[in-house]
Amino acid sequence: MKLHKGSILVTSTVGKGSTFTIRLLKGNVHLINTSNIETDEPVKAGQHFDHPGEIYDDYDEDEVEVSDTSDKNIILVVEDNQEILNYICQSLRSFFICIGAKNGSEGLHLAKTMNPDVIITDIMMPEMDGMEMTRMLKEDFNTSHIPVIILTSKSTLRDQIEGIETGAEAYIVKPFSMEYLKTVAGNLINQRTNVIDWFVEKKKLIKDLPKVNSKDKCFLLSLVSFIEENQSKDFSIDTLAEHCNISRTVFYNKIKGLTGRSPIDFVRKIKLNLALHLLDNGYNVSEAAFNTGFTDVKYFSRLFKIQFGHTPSKHRSDM
């Protein structure tokens, strides 16, 4: 898509499925001087190209746009007012991939199939309101890790308490500042670093204790303990998923959603932290590597330096 400067749109109907539409430029003028794809500017969401140089923001009421920049986080916006839905998606598309849903039922369906990084939802909607959707998301282990931001015109303290009691991570009263909404969404995504610090590196004194659903907290504690207790083993993702009694897909989504890392990176970070402690307790580099499941000492040393900024041998010499 980057090479052809196109866009992707998705429409979804609960119980029937989703339709993806790919739009590409006509002709081949846009392919000139694109030998190095990595230097091309990414196509922005909402830009549809029928001819080179022409940009249109023609939103169809039954189409919700998804930008095609894979390195961006995904935000699901659930809002029955098409004008507000388009406004939020257009305002955030420079920072996130935005997917839209028009009610709680559709939002619930897309959350389970697309695994977004954050959900922004209105409260009052047909079929299923935002409160009920949030409750169902948080009760389901498959989606409980997804942070939810509730947008509403209900401003009383009771309303706000009710919103937070559903499990939502943030409650924003309308009218709201788009910059504030962007900041809240970004902070919820960035807090995954705190999750790593708290559960993996055991930094219990960090100021911003991450808000983690009780199901997810138990999941992470159990998983980290299992890896630590079997630190010398070379785990496969299937083995870890089986230990947690969940599918490989759900396992990947949980780890990625909670920590911002792939399962392989997550396990590697735990093992390298264990190796660091072994070095601190007098083990040599080879012993630290083998005792944490690394059979190639050079590879272990390279990963160690990437994570800690210095080699394991230097770490020992500096002790």
Where are the domains positioned within the chain? Answer: 7-190, 193-317
- According to the model, what pLDDT value does residue 134 have? 95
Eight-class DSSP state of 175: S
Q: What's the CA gap between 51 and 171, in Å, rounded?
A: 42
- Looking only at the bridges linking them, the beta strands covering 7-13 and 64-66 are antiparallel
Eight-class DSSP state of 56: B
The correct CATH number of 7-190 out of 3.50.50.60, 3.40.1160.10, 3.40.50.2300, 3.40.50.300 is: 3.40.50.2300
- Residue 126: phi, psi to the nearest 5? -75, 165
- According to the model, what pLDDT value does residue 7 have? 45
Do 10 and 101 meet the contact criterion of CB atoms below 8 Å apart? no
Cα-based distances in Å from 162 to 30, 42, 130: 52, 40, 12
Q: What's the CA gap between 219 and 221, in Å, rounded?
A: 6
**First-to-last C-alpha distance (Å) of the chain:** 51
Q: What's the CA gap between 192 and 198, in Å, rounded?
A: 10
* Cβ atoms within 10 Å, residue 309: 9
Eight-class DSSP state of 293: T
Do 145 and 117 meet the contact criterion of CB atoms below 8 Å apart? no
- According to the model, what pLDDT value does residue 154 have? 74
Q: Which tokens go with 174?
A: 């309308």
- According to the model, what pLDDT value does residue 59 have? 34
- According to the model, what pLDDT value does residue 228 have? 92
Per-residue pLDDT of the chain (319 residues; tens, 9 = 90+): 444 444 455 555 556 666 665 655 555 544 444 333 333 333 333 333 333 332 223 333 344 444 444 578 999 999 999 999 999 999 998 899 999 999 999 999 999 999 999 999 999 898 899 999 999 999 999 999 999 999 988 767 777 788 778 889 999 988 889 999 999 999 999 888 888 888 877 665 555 556 788 889 999 999 999 999 999 988 888 999 999 999 999 999 999 999 999 999 999 999 999 999 999 999 999 999 999 999 999 999 999 999 999 999 988 777 6
- Any bridge partners for residue 73, and if so which? 96
- Residue 305: phi, psi to the nearest 5? -65, -40
- According to the model, what pLDDT value does residue 213 have? 84
Q: What's the CA gap between 199 and 194, in Å, rounded?
A: 8
The correct CATH number of 193-317 out of 2.70.210.12, 1.10.10.60, 3.40.1190.20, 1.10.10.10 is: 1.10.10.60
Cis? peptide before 175, omega within 30° of 0: yes
